[in-house]
Amino acid sequence: MDLGRIATAMVTPFQENGDIDFEAAGKLIEHLLSNGTDSIVVCGTTGESPTLSMDEKLQLIRFTVEKVNKRIPVIAGTGTYNTKETIEMTKKAENLGVDGVMLVAPYYNKPNQRGLYAHFEAVAKETALPIILYNVPGRTGTNIEAATTIALSKIPNIQVVKEASGNLDQMAEILAKTDEDFFVYSGDDALTLPLLAIGGKGVISVASHVVGNEMQAMIRAFKEGRLDEAAKMHQALLPIFKQLFKCPNPVPVKYALGKVGFSVARVRLPLVEMTEEEKRQFDEVWEHVKQSI
């Protein structure tokens, strides 16, 4: 499965009454298509999936598939801490026409490595779709160790891992011990360039909502051997990457989208919007970075 260099983990816009704002979602999809996004992940963490009901997830997946209309791949986040429910959600997403699914490591119940393998294997057996493993220990409390990812890569439809462990050594081991048709993507915008340097494919990004073209330019410079230029672009973008995670994701990126014409700052509890001081700090960094890139 080719996600391209940048897959955007899309936010979910909400109306004032808290319902999904499909009109805003449609406009956002068009914005992403025009601003550096090679594929879209819907109903991921950045889409506030923990607060979306199954019906809402299915509505949003259906809408995104129809709106994108095969212009780029659409990936649905279908993973939960419940294997049976994950299989059910994955099958429903498959029926809606997604190009692949992303499965987060089961959270809260904290399975061991054998349990993680068994969970992903069970889901893979029930779908023909390509699967992205999503390793984010900071959210799940469990790290999918390199050996487990390497073993899972032998299952034909498990084709990608989104590594948000922040551990480049772990990513390097996965790259060294998996086949060339298994891809490692960064789950952290700030590690996009470092991961590319050790053989990774790209990033499943939050920042691409607002600096997608700039990130593509950085990646292009790296791929074309303009390493100093790529490094300078990384350095210029790094303050934005950091600001986008100063508050719980996706609160800052929803605020940042206001800078490019999208009024989508509303989030669902237990998340809350940024304070005025947090906004001021973000604005300072935003203005500085936009002048330097």
Please choose, from the candidates 219, 212, 206, 214, the residue with its C-alpha nearest in 3D space to the C-alpha of residue 292.
214
This prediction's pTM: 0.97
8 A C-beta contact, residue 8 and residue 37: yes
| Interval 263-279 mean pLDDT | 98
Per-residue pLDDT tens digits for 128-172: 999 999 999 999 999 999 999 999 999 999 999 999 999 999 999
Query: What is the rounded CA–CA span in Å between residue 102 and residue 44?
Result: 8
190: left (phi over 0), alpha (psi -120 to 50) or beta: alpha
Backbone angles phi, psi at 76, to 5 degrees: -105, 130
Residue 141: CB atoms within 10 Å: 13
Specify the residue for token string 């607060």.
51
Select which of 67, 162, 201, 254 is catalytic.
162
Specify the residue for token string 């073993």.
151
Q: Tell me, what's the pLDDT at 161?
A: 98
Please choose, from the candidates 118, 181, 174, 105, the residue with its C-alpha nearest in 3D space to the C-alpha of residue 146.
174
- Is residue 293 pLDDT above 90, yes or no? no
CA 108 to chain centre: 20
8 A C-beta contact, residue 272 and residue 251: yes
- Is residue 224 pLDDT above 90, yes or no? yes
| Interval 81-97 mean pLDDT | 98
Query: What is the rounded CA–CA span in Å between residue 194 and residue 200?
Result: 9
- Is residue 290 pLDDT above 90, yes or no? no
Q: Tell me, what's the pLDDT at 1?
A: 85
Query: Is 162 tagged catalytic?
Result: yes
Please choose, from the candidates 103, 148, 106, the residue with its C-alpha nearest in 3D space to the C-alpha of residue 130.
103
Q: What Cα–Cα distance (Å) separates residue 82 from each residue in 75, 88, 142, 164?
A: 20, 10, 15, 21
Averaged confidence pLDDT in the chain? 98
**Confidence band, pLDDT 50/70/90 cuts, at residue 51:** very high
What count of Cα atoms within 13 Å lies in the side-chain half-sphere of residue 260?
20
| Domain coordinates in residue numbering, the chain | 6-227
Per-residue pLDDT tens digits for 176-206: 999 999 999 999 999 999 999 999 999 999 9
Torsion of CA 31, 37, 234, 253, to 10 degrees: 50
Select which of 117, 134, 185, 255 is catalytic.
134
- Is residue 35 pLDDT above 90, yes or no? yes
pLDDT over 90, % of the chain: 98
Backbone angles phi, psi at 241, to 5 degrees: -55, -45
Candidate CATH numbers 3.90.1150.10, 3.40.50.720, 3.40.50.280, 3.20.20.70; the one for domain 6-227: 3.20.20.70
DSSP E strands in the chain: the ranges are: 6-9, 39-42, 74-77, 100-104, 131-135, 158-163, 183-186, 202-205
Concatenating the DSSP letter of every residue in 214-269 gives: HHHHHHHHHHTT-HHHHHHHHHHHHHHHHHTTSSSTTHHHHHHGGGGT-------T
Query: Is 254 tagged catalytic?
Result: no
Q: Tell me, what's the pLDDT at 203?
A: 98
Amino acid at 129: L
